[in-house]
Amino acid sequence: MSNPGKYYLTTPIYYVNARPHIGHAYTTIVADVIARRKRALGFDTWFLTGTDEHGQKIERSARQAGIAPQEFTDRVAAEFKGLWDRMGLSYDDFIRTTEPRHKRAVQKFFALLKDSGYIYKGTYTGQYCVFDELYVDAPPGSPCPDCGRTTETVSEENYFFKLSAFERKLLEFYDANPDFVRPETRRNEVISFVRSGLKDLSVSRTSFKWGIPVPGDEKHVIYVWLDALANYITALGWGSEDPKEQERFKKFWPADLHIIGKEISRFHCVYWPAFLMAAGLPLPKSIVAHGWLLFEESKMSKSRGNIVRAETILEVLGADALRYFLLREIVFGQDGGFSFDALVQRYNSDLANGYGNLASRTLAMVQRYFEGTIPDAAPCEAGLCKETAAYIANFGKECDSLNFSRALETLWSFIGAVDGFLTSRAPWKARTDISDREQQQYRADVLYTAAEALRIITALVYPIIPDAAAKVWAQLGLGDIKQADLKNIEWGGLKPGTRLGELSPVFPRAEKDAITHMQEIEQKNNAPKPEEQPSVAPAPAESKGAEAAAGQVATHAQTNEKISIDDFMKVELRVAQIKVAERVPKADKLLRLEVDLGYEQRQILAGIAEAYEPESLIGRKVVIVANLAPRKLRGLESNGMIVAASLGEKGRPVLAGFLEDVEVGARLK
């Protein structure tokens, strides 16, 4: 086979606001499987992954952790890279958006868009989701359409990208390139979004500093999504002065495949191609969005507390078990469920009793009957050796279409056929109808057929379970599978006389306590640390009505009950500054406030509308209970409680305040 050319694929770069879980691992494993298969087929392959480390959310998370943003990102990025290395993922580059090579190139990219007339300065006033770093076209207090969290009101000077100029161009491109966005459901969503009308996009921020400065106007930092998306070209060397890096970019761009999660389709399938069009650069060939990994029927997320770490599975069952389960159990492109029960069941049925058992029984009989040497067999004329070509072709077709579950179903049908062949031929049984010499030749024919089928299965499955495949390959006496030529897999490649390597079980059966063991590890991992335990907030005064009962205004009430200093220390009181204040429709006592805590902004509902006009509160510093569990009122979520005194018979609220200038976010002790 001639050299098929280059292949460049990427994962999304992962946001470092939290440590990695198996949802992140799923995306990266899929990319690793594709990269390994492309290399095996002879493609000059470049596989990129990395971390996205700028933005308001990171700045706030670092402040909350009490460390500098760079230290915060260094820690979490190291966890991602360390996990990928522990899993043996075969990435060629790991890009971090805080690296100098990326920063320099992003500034050049921004300047190119500006010089091309596609970036201009203006002012943005509207809603922004800090969690998704997403501008939201909606009224104040609206939830983010992607994550459901309450958006914040932002008003600041920005640079804007002329996204509206690309509406027709994008639709024409989608029409001319039907495989650009996959699967079809994501393609339809993207086209519908663009057809609904594109507005110019804010591509800089001035309300925080953790980002790449706009060249020539450093009070602005570049919008985190423009920064992050550019990684796909900056990692290859776009914008570099180094000739070697420039050559790599010319060689590998455009990307053959971007693999992403479905929640970031808009950024990759609308913003990214528009940026590239504006820069005069080729567009990627295809973007594939996979579904969510669900645990207990919910998407895994830190806020839901249903994170499953890949490390837990590595510790108990190993990386190949996780890889196989995710590729076999989940139809790529759709949401898929994860449970420890299903993982162990699939491990035992398919890996231990299937592939692992076939390898063990086949090679053990070669060891027993032929002293560990592959026997010489009669030429293949019928049966398994003739059916193998169809299994190889079907497996390859499904893999290349990213139908991994169907590909593995095909391959395990082959395993079942080989297993059935061995059982029906029963080479271990002594036959009385033939001579000893004929008996030995019969065994040789059967065991060579089984061993050769095992070789082919191992070569095919190598990209999916590389550790196990490497062990079986070595046990077959074929050496290091990484050095093997796997481009043309066909019957007859196993040479008679080959000496087997040292035999050992590949997939020992998982014990009954494996599920319990993994659950215990996760429970220990997800248990809140002492400082994260839920805290008790001050009780509202009696007869305050629905608004106060919702726990949004803490006022003084007489009580004889004493509490300990430990009880008091559970309440986290902090200084906040009111940025937005407005009345809640059809609620006489309620105000909707957006307050700045220094490390984050929050929405709080407060029953103080009868005592304070909304406009009088803007800029005022108040005390809030910061660790109160969120509650919903009038359809709006409140995240905290304003502290106030209760005066007079009617309990008129008077907000707690300060005579001195107090830093926003300071904790009261």
**Domain span including residue 403:** 352-483
Question: What per-residue confidence (pLDDT) applies to 598?
Answer: 75
Distance CA 606, CA 614 (A): 11
- Examine the fold and report which residue of 416, 449, 483 is the final residue of a domain before the chain moves on: 483
Q: Kindly state whether residue 322 falls inside one of the protein's structural domains.
A: no
Residue 299 pLDDT grade (very low, low, confident, very high; cuts 50, 70, 90): low
When divided into structural domains, the chain yields a total of 2
Q: Look up the CATH number of the domain holding residue 366.
A: 1.10.730.10
Decide which of 47 and 132 is more confident: 47
**471 shares a domain with 558:** no
- Examine the fold and report which residue of 483, 508, 543 is the final residue of a domain before the chain moves on: 483
Question: Could you tell me the two tokens for 98?
Answer: 């805080």
Rounded to the nearest integer, the mean pLDDT of the chain is 88
Q: Kindly state whether residue 99 falls inside one of the protein's structural domains.
A: no
pLDDT, one tens digit per residue, over 320-373 is 999 999 999 999 989 988 899 999 999 999 999 999 999 999 999 999 999 999
Asked if residue 50 lies in contact with residue 95, where contact means CB atoms within 8 angstroms, the answer is yes
Q: Kindly state whether residue 540 falls inside one of the protein's structural domains.
A: yes
Q: Look up the CATH number of the domain holding residue 631.
A: 2.40.50.140
Residue type, 88: G
Question: What per-residue confidence (pLDDT) applies to 550?
Answer: 35
Asked if residue 622 lies in contact with residue 655, where contact means CB atoms within 8 angstroms, the answer is yes
Question: What per-residue confidence (pLDDT) applies to 13?
Answer: 96
Q: Kindly state whether residue 96 falls inside one of the protein's structural domains.
A: no
Distances from the Cα of 617 to the Cα of 38, 208, 578, 582, 620, angstroms:
61, 23, 7, 10, 5
Q: Kindly state whether residue 168 falls inside one of the protein's structural domains.
A: no
What is the pLDDT averaged over residues 6-29?
94
For the chain, the farthest-separated pair of C-alpha atoms sits apart, in whole angstroms, at: 110
Q: Kindly state whether residue 470 falls inside one of the protein's structural domains.
A: yes
| SS3 (DSSP) at 143 | strand
**537 shares a domain with 451:** no
Residue type, 58: I
Distance CA 26, CA 28 (A): 6
Taking phi first (over 0 means left), then psi (-120 to 50 degrees means alpha), and beta for anything else, what does residue 329 get?
A: alpha
pLDDT, one tens digit per residue, over 175-197 is 999 999 999 999 999 999 999 99
**Start-to-end Cα distance in the chain:** 73
**448 shares a domain with 379:** yes
Distance CA 471, CA 467 (A): 6
Residue by residue, DSSP assigns 277-318 as HHHT-PPPS-EEEE-PEEETTEE--TTTT----HHHHHHHT-
Distances from the Cα of 577 to the Cα of 239, 403, 595, angstroms:
42, 52, 5
Q: Please give the helix or strand (H or E) that residue 96 lies within, else none.
A: strand 93-96
Question: What per-residue confidence (pLDDT) applies to 565?
Answer: 64
Q: Kindly state whether residue 370 falls inside one of the protein's structural domains.
A: yes
Half-sphere exposure of 411 (CA within 13 A, CB side): 32
pLDDT, one tens digit per residue, over 384-413 is 888 999 999 999 999 999 999 999 999 999
Q: Express as a percent the part of the chain with pLDDT over 90.
A: 65
Distances from the Cα of 7 to the Cα of 26, 111, 252, 574, 635, angstroms:
20, 29, 7, 53, 49
Instruction: Report strand pairing: 14-15 vs 152-161.
Output: unpaired
Q: Kindly state whether residue 577 falls inside one of the protein's structural domains.
A: yes
